[in-house]
Amino acid sequence: MSLSIFSVQLLTGLAYGMLYFMIAAGLTIILGVMNIVNLAHGTLFLLGSYMAFTFMNQQFSFWIALLLSVAVTAVIGIIIEKLFIRQIYGKELEQVLLTFGLAFVIADTAKWIWGTEPQTMAVPALLDSSISIGPMVFPFYRLFVVLIGCLLALLLWYFESKTRIGAIIRAGVDDRAMVSALGINVGVVFTGVFAFGAGLAALSGVLGGPLIGMYTGMESDILVTSLIVVVIGGLGSWKGSFIGAILIGLIETFGKIWFPSLSMLIVFLLMVVVLIIRPQGLFGREVA
């Protein structure tokens, strides 16, 4: 394999890894802070990308559509948290049923609104160019996705370790009762975290639009991949998701070259290996 082909593959793997990171980060943060596996997370990704598609059809630019759909999805997140999830904190089976049911309702609503035809989104004009790598070309848009993913990681790191809210959230993960005893409104924190996670899912959906497109059933494809990322990275750890997502992105891409018919199997295999060596995931903490 020549160096230029290798670089194209590497960047492609990274771009997909970053998309997985954006959606898995939301999933894992919600899991870590609120102790909820949000099975409707994939449909928020779906909603984000379909809404941006609609906004763009209304002649909004890609950027405005991106902002609007992230904002609207975050608001939907707030509504879901306040209306439903709030009722069943700590009740695990109910949470599974509820979020799984929501996933169906949202996915079917999306089907009703946007139909079943697969759709796609145009790459924004500003990024619609490509760079040459040796004899190959690489779409600039994918580099942009990689960049956004890295920025998000940086932002999360700053947020978590340098801000007060980050400290509250870290404390909340460790001891919820103590945090509320200190006079902090845990409910507000939870709503905020859920909205943030929903917004991230939408961000990933919109940025993924020009790469993956929109089609019925995409929500469960993406949910399975992001659950695997979360498991590999360690439950509740966004850093783990960052590394896990990049690993999955690269393995999928290079797997296609070396073992064309086995690329999905390799992803599951990686999960199994990680779980055997480190059952808590790469960055997960030992749990009692």
Task: Give the residues lining the site for another protein (CB under 8 A).
Answer: 5, 8-9, 12, 16, 31-32, 35, 37, 39, 92, 96, 100, 104, 108, 111, 115-120, 122-123, 130, 135-139, 141, 173-174, 210-218, 220-221, 223-224, 227, 231, 235-236, 252-253, 256-257, 260-261, 263-264, 279-280, 287-288
Distance CA 285, CA 281 (A): 8
Q: Which is nearer to another protein, 27 or 68 (CB)?
A: 27
Both tokens of 160, joined, read 């978590």
| Minimum gap (Å) between residue 202 Cβ and another protein | 19
User: Contact, 12 vs 142, CB < 8 A?
Assistant: yes
Q: Which is nearer to another protein, 74 or 234 (CB)?
A: 234
Both tokens of 107, joined, read 């996915």
| Minimum gap (Å) between residue 139 Cβ and another protein | 4
| Minimum gap (Å) between residue 46 Cβ and another protein | 13
| Minimum gap (Å) between residue 115 Cβ and another protein | 7
- Give CA separation, 253 vs 2, 24, 180, 245, in Å: 16, 18, 45, 12
Helix (H, G, I), strand (E, B) or coil at 181: helix
Cα dihedral across residues 140, 66, 79, 29: positive or negative: positive
| Minimum gap (Å) between residue 117 Cβ and another protein | 5
Q: Which is nearer to another protein, 35 or 150 (CB)?
A: 35
User: Contact, 41 vs 23, CB < 8 A?
Assistant: yes
| Minimum gap (Å) between residue 276 Cβ and another protein | 14
Q: Which is nearer to another protein, 23 or 231 (CB)?
A: 231
Q: Which is nearer to another protein, 156 or 223 (CB)?
A: 223
Cα dihedral across residues 222, 139, 153, 280: positive or negative: positive
Q: Which is nearer to another protein, 78 or 120 (CB)?
A: 120
Query: Partners of 130 in the beta sheet?
Result: 139
Distance CA 259, CA 261 (A): 6
| Minimum gap (Å) between residue 75 Cβ and another protein | 26
The alpha-helical segments, DSSP class H, found in the chain are 3-34, 41-57, 62-83, 92-114, 140-162, 164-174, 176-181, 186-212, 218-233, 238-258, 263-277
Q: Which is nearer to another protein, 82 or 120 (CB)?
A: 120
